[in-house]
């Protein structure tokens, strides 16, 4: 019996903890990378012989944050890794008839965007900071972080079919796309911003994200000096 597999969709993942880099420990990175990247690579390698026999499809779910990194922690790193692994896999497997697609969703209402989980991890990280680091960010920054996460959840799309339709097309279409942007925020904001000059994307993200207390103080001093 010749066993084969036509389709593999890698969608398992976790997002938290997400916070500034100097709030993190190495275990916080490993927790996410082990699931989102290493786990994805491991299952793909195990099933690749079956996919080659069937000249099948691999669909890897990355994120807009695999194209534009703007939140600290392992999530953006893992999704950039998924992008790179998928590009390499596609180029390696084209000789064997295996097609590889990447889905890059924007913000959707899922367990990954649960405000309760995100707030719990933020509080845990905040409580373990040294007094020096905590002072450099300030209590206002922590409050604004929680408020921002809540606002993001409200803006997240509840129509998950936008993602599943991309998966379906990548699996059964005669000519699947290499990349699928999924969600209006992905198509009209995050992905276009990823092509913008770094100076512009940095400026836009700075306007959207909270500002640490130490940064506000330095700006105030500069204005006074002027």
Task: Provide the pLDDT for residue 219.
Answer: 42
Q: Alpha carbon 6 to chain centroid distance? A: 27
Cα–Cα distance, 16 to 18 (Å, whole number): 5
SS3 state of residue 86: helix
Determine which of 3-7, 178-182, 215-219 has the lowest per-residue pLDDT on average: 215-219
For residues 88-111, average pLDDT: 94
Percent pLDDT > 70 in the chain is: 90
Cα–Cα distance, 149 to 123 (Å, whole number): 13
For residues 167-171, average pLDDT: 98
Task: Provide the pLDDT for residue 215.
Answer: 75
- Residues annotated as catalytic are 75
User: Is a pLDDT exceeding 50 seen at residue 81?
Assistant: yes
The tokens for 162 are: 């936008």
Task: Provide the pLDDT for residue 110.
Answer: 80
List the Cα angle 40/38/153 in 5-degree steps.
Answer: 70
């Amino acid at each position: 019996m010749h066993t084969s597999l036509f389709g593999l969709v890698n969608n398992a993942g976790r997002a938290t903890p997400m916070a500034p880099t100097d709030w993190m420990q190495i275990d916080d990175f490993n927790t996410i990378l082990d699931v989102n990247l290493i786990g994805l690579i491991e299952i793909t390698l195990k099933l690749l012989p079956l996919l080659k026999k069937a000249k099948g499809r691999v669909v890897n779910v990355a994120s807009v944050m695999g194209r534009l990194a703007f939140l600290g922690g392992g999530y953006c790193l893992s999704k950039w890794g998924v992008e790179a692994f998928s590009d390499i896999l596609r180029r390696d497997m084209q000789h064997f008839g295996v097609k590889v697609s990447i889905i890059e969703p924007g913000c959707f209402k899922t367990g990954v965007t649960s405000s309760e989980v995100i707030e719990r991890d933020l509080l845990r990280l905040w409580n373990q900071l040294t007094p020096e680091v905590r002072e450099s960010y300030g209590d206002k920054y922590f409050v604004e972080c929680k408020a921002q996460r809540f606002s993001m959840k409200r803006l997240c799309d509840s129509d998950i079919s936008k993602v599943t339709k991309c998966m379906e097309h990548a699996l059964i279409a005669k000519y699947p796309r290499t990349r699928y942007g999924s969600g209006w925020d992905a198509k009209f904001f995050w992905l276009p911003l990823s092509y913008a000059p770094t100076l512009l994307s940095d400026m836009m993200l700075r306007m959207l994200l909270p500002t640490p207390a130490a940064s506000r103080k330095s700006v105030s001093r500069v204005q006074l000096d002027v």
